[in-house]
Amino acid sequence: MANLIVPAQSEPGLDGRILSITPESAGWNYVGFEVFKLVPGQSLHRATGDQEACLVLVSGKADVSTSGATWSGIGERMSVFEQIPPYSVYVPSGDAYNVTALTELELAICLAPGGGGREARLIAPAQVGVEHRGSGNMARLVHNILPESEPADSLLVVEVFTPGGHWSSYPPHKHDRDFLPEESLLEETYYYHTNPVQGFAVQRVYTDDRSLDETLAVADGQAVLVPKGYHPVSAPPGYDVYYLNVMAGPTRTWKFYNDPDHAWLMPPQSAR
């Protein structure tokens, strides 16, 4: 099994890429994830091939175009911790996209198998579902960027803000069995930022039989692979934690199963 923590490069590559996860590098079948840091005027051009993509402007502004559409000057937040929803662009398989940074730009590219035949579209902040989920020290803010209620072939994309001293992806839940309607099989990545930047998050990834049981200290700019098992997150006091989730599997639905030992803590719909 691949290392569960994927660090970013200290310096961007020539194309601006700082982090790359492929199905091959992760040892799974569906989810790909990349992060680019572009300077003003720098462009990124890619064909999607057999994958669909969700381009998330994590921070900064850009011009984005596909083979059939152009969106100029999109982007609003300069830091994820402004906690306003991002601009994103859905690009189907069999298409191509060009992104030109207008400011310093952090761009996340979420990838999964596509079926073709869909239209590229802008996902503006007003189209992002905003939830205040949980209560007490399990309260967190959720932005549903590409939920299953919105059209796509495989991708599910969401971002979560967890205040210092709080927990999220809690109670511990999993989605590693293709056992609908009770549970869906979804691979998942977590991409992290912390505020202040020197902070860290704690994430545990474990299975019922403990054949996988790792507790991870995750730094700003790192990603975590969740190939299977339960995967709760804790934000230490004094450090707010952001993560961007990408999920995909054989069926595009999020049906999770709570750890029976901890399911009493919260209603099932509040797990993320």
AA identity, residue 37: K
**Tokens 């572009």 found at:** 38
| 187: confidence class by pLDDT, cuts 50, 70, 90 | very high
- The C-alpha angle with vertex 187 and arms to 2 and 167, in degrees rounded to 5, equals 95
**Tokens 């669909």 found at:** 52
| 272: confidence class by pLDDT, cuts 50, 70, 90 | low
Three-state DSSP class for 149?
A: coil
Q: What is the dihedral of CA 39, 61, 241, 123, to 10 degrees?
A: -140
62-77 pLDDT, tens digit each: 999 999 999 999 999 9
AA identity, residue 45: H
Instruction: Please give the distance of CA 239 from its chain centroid, rounded to a whole number.
Output: 20
The predicted structure's pLDDT at residue 2: 63
193-213 pLDDT, tens digit each: 999 999 999 999 999 999 999
Closest residue by Cα to residue 59 from 92, 102, 18, 90: 102
**Tokens 């005027």 found at:** 41
Share the mean pLDDT of the chain. 95
In sequence order, what are the residues at sequence separation of 6 or more whose Cβ sits closer than 8 angstroms to the Cβ of residue 14? none
Closest residue by Cα to residue 89 from 117, 115, 57: 57
AA identity, residue 42: Q
Question: Does pTM surpass 0.85?
Answer: yes
Please determine, for residue 127, whether its predicted confidence score (pLDDT) is greater than 90: yes
d(Cα 238, Cα 84) in Å, to the nearest integer? 21
CA-to-CA separations, 190 to 52, 65, 100, 230, in angstroms, rounded: 19, 27, 25, 13
Residue 109 near residue 62 (C-beta atoms within 8 A) = no
Please determine, for residue 268, whether its predicted confidence score (pLDDT) is greater than 80: no
The predicted structure's pLDDT at residue 105: 98
| 116: confidence class by pLDDT, cuts 50, 70, 90 | confident
d(Cα 47, Cα 18) in Å, to the nearest integer? 19
Closest residue by Cα to residue 202 from 231, 161, 244: 231
137-186 pLDDT, tens digit each: 999 999 999 999 999 999 999 999 999 999 999 999 999 999 999 999 99
Phi, psi of 108 (to 5 degrees): -105, 135
Average pLDDT over residues 102-121: 96
| 10: confidence class by pLDDT, cuts 50, 70, 90 | confident
